[in-house]
Amino acid sequence: MRVFRSAQSEVVSRALGIKYNIMDKYIYFSDNQFLHSLNAKRLGLDHKLYTIDNLEQLKNTVTERSYLYLFSDFLLLDNAITSSKQIATDESVEVFVVANSHNDDSVRQAVKSLLNIDIDVAYGVVYIKINLSRIGNFDGSNKHNYSLKTLSGGCLQLDDHQVPRAALSTKAKTLGFFEHLIEAEIDSGVVISYQDWQDNRQSCVDRVLNQNWYRVITRSSSLNEDSFSSSNAGAFESVANIIGEDSDSIGEAIDSVFASYSNVASKDEVLLQRQITNVAVSGVCTTRVIGKGSPYYVICYDDLSGRTDSITAGDTNHVKTLMVYRNADLTELNIDDDIKKLLGHVNEIETITASVALDIEFIIDTNGSIHIVQIRPLVGDYDTIDDDAIDHHIKSSQRLFSQFSVPDDGITTGNKNIFGVMPDANPAELIGIKPRPLAFSLYQRLITDEIVTEQRSEYGYRDVRPLHHMLKFGGTPFINVRSSFNSFTPASLNDNLANKLINLYIDRLMALPKLHDKVEFDVVATTWFPGVGTWFDEIYADKLNSNEIKQTIDSLKQVCLAAIANVNTYINCVDDYVGKFDRVVQSDLSNINKGIMLIDICRSHGCKPFAHLARSGFIAISILKGFVNCNVMTKQQYDNYLLNIDSVSSNMGRDAYDVANGKLSKQAFYDRYGHLRPGTYDICSEAYFDNPEKYLDPIIKASKVSEKSDEVLDVATIANIDAFFHEENINLNFSYFDAFARKAIHGREEAKFKYTKFMSHGLLFLRKWAESLELTADDISYLLITDILDIASGNMPDNREQVLQMICYRKDIYRLESKIELPDLIKSDDDFLFFHKKEGAPNFISSKSVQAEIVLVQPAETNDADYFRGKVVLIDSADPGYDWLFGFSISGLITKYGGANSHMAIRCAELGIPAAIGVGDIIYNKLAGSNEVTLDCNNGIINTTVRLKK
């Protein structure tokens, strides 16, 4: 614990009415060392530990005017002296007492043992001060050889564990308690009780006027806020920017704050303080992650606006969020010195409060002084978090990161490696930031372990097999970026140029981590598209020479043309395996084996054709966007072109309309679309067939005649496209490209629609198997797919007790890893210890704007069409399982995760719905607490109202 410097101690002591001496440093501790250390700080003393047994050592260090302090088990709160009684002329011993029935005999006995003086007082002894330079002159002849000083009564008799309760009370009392106990600036201000205010208003105002403050802020300090059971944060009024000499305004502000208390009590208070006007940084630091208890300091701050309330008011976009792991060594962290200093003060406060979870409001002024303006406990159960176990998992993740970030992995080119949640394969979008073990292992088995890299190798990119494309750090799926960028580099490029490109790509992403979910448009060129030469010139011209750029573009043309030539082959592969579905479902296999069989057919036959078509669809969209950027077609023509392409969703809309008009049976509609689910790989996610009344009936009810655009590109635009292909020496024309684009964009959605049928029913059969063991879908969501494979193959008994044991083991791991916070991009070991949360750079879809109420969709949300109609919908991921939303006439869509080429981006473009895809954590959380949003896609603007949801 830090101690006051001499100059500061002198000021403190004078304020307390106690004579200070620079040699006051020796403190005798009895049993309660923690309380005594607090009392020492309250008095501005340096302290050392001495006991009766080592007092001889103490005597050897005595210099003139040295003092020994002997503390009783009291905690000093307000130690101003109210009376002083001189018992004898020799004041070498001073006894500080308080009117308290407690009579601590241990201090008296210590004095008698040391000095042979028998102190006899009727009050509770708080502490005794002895002039050690007189230690040889005490002979016990005068047992009244002391002066008696009575304190004002502000002392508490406490055990260590009671200190947090004493320290953390009302806003005013809490600040008063910590004032002078830590090195930060704390202003206890002027505290006015409601009773005092009722008795003598003018006297209360005069107390404020006498402070001669330039500006005054009036803050609530109700008995009903900042408690351990309820914070009522923001519930009561605060009034800022009051002129310090304006008595009327001060009185009105006090009235306003008291009026905001629902049932004001006589002991309720208002706190008035000098308002800090030279604000450099203001913010809030919590000592745990709110609601989760994760062991991180979370510092939300504003270093731009100069306001003191911008973070607490929640009405600014100037929010930065720094996460610092509690177990990190602050001295080793590369963070701002002021933030380190702040965290040092937070540590001091935590020491005093026994590490109770806290919410601390702070201001850093332009002189670098740190002001603590509020300290309150976080409400909730934060005492059950196993920090040591979490620390073990973090260290394990750091070791795993080190193993895969070596300069040379033997397979890929590139001299460094980083990991991200969204640069490729979109795990954060499709399985979430903290997926259950089954969802993670399914995605790994079906997509990232082999399919992605095998598909790209066949497509014409570099072969990176058998590298793991996705790893898990601290429970979060991360993509191996070096592996990803290699698998996006044409195989025809020579190794030297490939190595140079991949290093450039990684350097750019490290410099601009906000691009982690849009690397294929802003970091890596994975295909030829109109304007690709300009793209290279703008981003890498100073890093690549003209010959290197030409070689790269030529290799990208090869990939692009091969994709266009092979699109029919990929589509035929989709049709080849769909007949296996009925044969497996109707077989005599057990439920567990039916489930595994369907999932493995999906893996071996369905996922790769989908991956081929997804890549082809991306190439088609890239070329179309390139035409827009090169002014070959307009943005409106681009939108209309996509609207004109048939899709699974447009087919679904037509089928729904046929059901509503009696042309198709409802059961046939259920059978055709029932396998869709919001979480494709999540066994806990409800499929449409689980609750067709909730998911499918509203789509039927809201169906209408298809509004597909009949508008096609005009003759002049088509001629311009043909001319562009010719000028770029691309052996294409519009007719050939048009056929490819329609097949690829539609084929991608169709391929996923068909393979997810196998996946969804596979999960259904696994759920039925779980029911036979009296387990739930939630239970087996904690198993890995390899656990289930072991059971199905006989490597592990199909025994409820053993399966439960495995579930409990994996659930414990998941529970711990869910507490680990990580950035979107991991570049070094330090990112496991601290990071700034990044603002998302949204992908805006369409050129439209909308202002409407915003609704957050949860898995159990009602599906009443009226609930969604005309509103902007907020969802976590851009997963295709949320297609049902489009049956409710929504006005707009916003997702936390997802790229410009994600499913929901394509769907919104097809339907002409304004959307912001992949806004990121900070914007998403702000939107989730808002009532209304303005989404202006053309100008790239997302604005919310200040008014927050109740």
280 domain-assigned: yes
Rounded distance between C-alpha atoms, residue 580 and residue 601, angstroms: 8
pLDDT tens digits, 250-262: 999 999 999 988 7
Q: Is 690 part of a structural domain of the chain?
A: no
Burial class (CB in 10 A: 0-12, 13-18, 19+), 768: middle
Residues 118 and 267 in one domain: no
Same-domain pairing of 737 and 876 = no
Q: Highest-confidence range of 13-22, 65-74, 460-469, 867-876, by mean pLDDT?
A: 460-469
Dihedral pair phi/psi, residue 226, rounded to 5°: 60, 35
Give residue-wise pLDDT tens across range 420-434: 998 999 898 888 889
| 207 and 137 both lie in a single domain | no
**582-622 per-position pLDDT tens digit:** 999 999 999 999 999 999 999 999 999 999 999 999 999 99
Helix (H) or strand (E) run with residue 12 in it: helix 6-16
The stretch 786-792 carries a mean pLDDT of 96
Q: What mean pLDDT do residues 899-909 have? A: 66
Confidence of residue 396 (pLDDT cuts 50, 70, 90): very high
Q: Is 407 exposed, middle or buried (0-12, 13-18, 19+ CB in 10 A)?
A: exposed
| Terminal Cα-to-Cα distance of the chain (whole angstroms) | 41
Stronger pLDDT, 24 or 204, i.e. the higher one: 204
* CA 406, chain centre distance (Å): 28
Q: What is the pLDDT of residue 47?
A: 67
pLDDT tens-digit map of 498-509: 999 999 999 999
- Are 138 and 170 within one domain? no
Distance from C-alpha of 722 to C-alpha of 176, rounded to nearest angstrom: 78
Q: What is the pLDDT of residue 446?
A: 95
Beta bridge mates, 172: none
Residues 928-935 have a mean pLDDT of 82
- 926 and 856 in a single domain? The answer is yes
Tell me which amino acid residue 619 is.
I
Sheet holding 215-221, edge to edge: 190-193, 269-274, 215-221, 239-243
Asked if residue 466 has a cis previous peptide bond (ω within 30° of 0), the answer is yes
CB 846 within 8 A of CB 914: yes
Long-range contacts of 712-717 (CB under 8 A, 24+ apart): 712/641, 712/644, 713/633, 713/637, 713/641, 717/632, 717/633, 717/637
- Which of 156-160, 248-252, 600-604, 697-701 comes out lowest in average pLDDT? 156-160
- The CA distance from 809 to 804, in Å, is 9
Segment among 327-336, 480-489, 893-902 with least mean pLDDT:
893-902
- Chain mean position to CA 529: 36
What is the number of structural domains in the chain? 4
Q: Does pLDDT of 767 surpass 90?
A: yes
Told to judge if 516 belongs to the known catalytic residues of this protein, a careful annotator would answer: no
Say if CB 781 and CB 436 are below 8 A apart.
yes
- Does residue 669 lie in a domain region? no
Cα angle 149, 150, 154; round to 5: 135
Task: Check pLDDT > 60 for residue 230.
Answer: no
Task: Inform me whether the pLDDT recorded for 900 exceeds 50.
Answer: yes
Of 247, 237, 342, residue with least CA distance to 298? 342
Same domain, 154 and 173: no
Write out the two tokens for 482: 């070096």
Identify the band that residue 57 occupies on the pLDDT scale cut at 50, 70 and 90: low
Question: Do 188 and 172 meet the contact criterion of CB atoms below 8 Å apart?
Answer: yes
d(CA 327, CA 819): 14
Which residue is listed with tokens 């994600």?
902
The answer to which of 102-106, 715-719, 725-729, 822-826 has the lowest mean pLDDT is: 102-106
Q: What is the pLDDT, as a whole number, of residue 865?
A: 65
Out of 158, 193, 214, pick the residue that ends a domain. 158
Q: Are 82 and 96 in contact (CB under 8 A)?
A: no
| 53 in a structural domain | yes
**Is 518 part of a structural domain of the chain?**
no
State how far the Cα of 643 lies from the Cα of 536, in Å rounded to an integer.
Answer: 30
> Two tokens at 905?
């981006």
Q: Are 421 and 516 in contact (CB under 8 A)?
A: yes
Please check whether residues 249 and 351 belong to one and the same domain. Answer: yes
Q: Name, of 166-170, 379-383, 657-661, 916-920, the range with top average pLDDT.
A: 657-661
Q: Where are the alpha helices (DSSP H) in 27-170?
A: 33-42, 55-60, 105-115, 163-167
Q: State mean pLDDT over 763-771.
A: 97
Domain extent for 107? 6-158
Q: Which two tokens stand for residue 761?
A: 């029913």
What is the tens place of the pLDDT at every residue in 274-320?
999 999 999 889 899 877 889 999 898 888 877 776 666 544 556 78
Band of residue 21 on the pLDDT scale cut at 50, 70, 90? very low
Provide the edge-to-edge strand list for the sheet that holds 834-837: 370-377, 358-365, 279-286, 296-302, 320-325, 834-837
Range scoring the smallest mean pLDDT among 166-180, 585-599, 652-666, 815-829? 166-180
pLDDT value for 726: 95
Q: Pick the more confident residue, 675 or 64.
A: 675
Mean pLDDT for 317-327 is 84
In this predicted structure, what is the pLDDT of residue 498? 98
Q: Tell me, what's the pLDDT at 877?
A: 72
State the pLDDT at residue 949.
Answer: 38
pLDDT greater than 70 at residue 825: yes
Rounded CA separation 352/373 (Å): 17
**At CA 694, angle to CA 677 and CA 673, rounded to 5?**
45
Q: Please report the pLDDT score of residue 165 as a whole number.
A: 78
With respect to residue 102, please indicate whether it lies within any of the assigned structural domains: yes
pTM: 0.83
Top mean-pLDDT range of 19-23, 115-119, 841-845, 862-866? 841-845
Q: What is the torsional sign of CA 587, 591, 592, 598?
A: positive
More confident residue, 10 or 334: 334
Looking at per-residue pLDDT, the higher value among 919 and 560 belongs to 560
Look at residues 723, 739, 772 and tell me which one is the last residue of a structural domain. Answer: 772
pLDDT at site 612: 97
Are 27 and 65 contained in the same domain? yes
Band (pLDDT 50/70/90 cuts) for residue 790 is very high
How many angstroms separate the CA atoms of 356 and 346, rounded? 11
What CATH number is associated with residue 891? Answer: 3.50.30.10
pLDDT at 861 over 60: no
**Torsion angle defined by CA atoms of residues 727, 731, 736 and 737, in that order, rounded to the nearest 10 degrees:** -60
- pLDDT band with cut points at 50, 70 and 90 for residue 924: confident
Q: Which amino acid is it at 747?
A: G
Categorize the per-residue pLDDT at 321 as very low, low, confident or very high, splitting at 50, 70 and 90. confident
Joined together, the tokens standing for residue 34 give 């923690």
3-state secondary structure of 539: helix
Provide the token pair at 944: 């919310």
What's the Cα-to-Cα distance from 55 to each of 15, 48, 91, 114, 323, rounded to whole Å? 31, 12, 21, 8, 47
On average, the pLDDT of the chain sits at 85
DSSP state of 446: I
Whole-number pLDDT of residue 145:
64
Q: Give the contacts of 593 (CB within 8 A, at least 6 positions apart).
A: 792
What DSSP element (H or E) covers 673? helix 666-673
pLDDT band at residue 908 under the 50/70/90 scheme: confident
At 842-856, the pLDDT tens digits run 777 776 888 888 988
Q: How confident is the model at residue 902 (pLDDT cuts 50, 70, 90)?
A: low
- Measured torsion, CA atoms of residues 255, 260, 262, 263, in degrees rounded to the nearest 10: -20
Whose structure tokens read 């106690």? 18
In a 3-state reduction of DSSP, which class is residue 244? coil
> Are residues 149 and 181 located together in one domain of the fold?
no
Nearest 5°: the CA angle 205, 206, 209 is: 90
- Domain shared by 31 and 132, yes or no: yes
Residue 511 belongs to some domain of the structure: no
Rounded CA separation 400/825 (Å): 15
Do 19 and 83 reside in the same domain of the chain? Answer: yes
Q: Which of 177-186, 299-308, 474-483 has the lowest mean pLDDT?
A: 299-308
Chain position carrying tokens 């087996």: 780
Residue 727 has pLDDT above 80, yes or no: yes
Percent of the residues in the chain that have a pLDDT greater than 70, as a whole number: 84
Are β-strands 872-875 and 849-856 bridged in parallel, bridged antiparallel, or unpaired? Answer: parallel
At 112 the pLDDT is: 72
Percent of the chain with pLDDT over 90: 54
The Cα 288–Cα 325 span in angstroms is: 9
**Choosing from 345, 516, 746, 903, which is the catalytic residue?**
903
Boundary-marking domain end, from 728, 743, 772:
772
Token digits for 421?
Answer: 């949640």
Q: Residue with structure tokens 């307009």?
A: 634
Least confident span in 296-310, 389-403, 817-831: 296-310
Backbone angles phi, psi at 566, to 5 degrees: -100, 5
The CATH code of the domain that includes 226 is 3.30.470.20
Distance, in Å, from the CA atom of 699 to the CA atom of 704, rounded to the nearest integer, reads 10
Q: What is the pLDDT of residue 897?
A: 75
Q: What CA–CA distance (Å, rounded) separates 641 from 910? A: 9
Report CA torsion sign: 244, 245, 249, 255: positive
Q: Residue type at 406?
A: V
- Say whether both 763 and 849 belong to one domain: no
Mean pLDDT of the 814-830 span = 94
Please check whether residue 358 lies inside any domain of the structure.
Answer: yes
Those residues with Cβ within 8 angstroms of residue 670's Cβ, 6 or more apart along the chain or in another chain: 688, 689, 692, 696
Instruction: Give residue 49's pLDDT.
Output: 67
The amino acid sitting at 700 is I
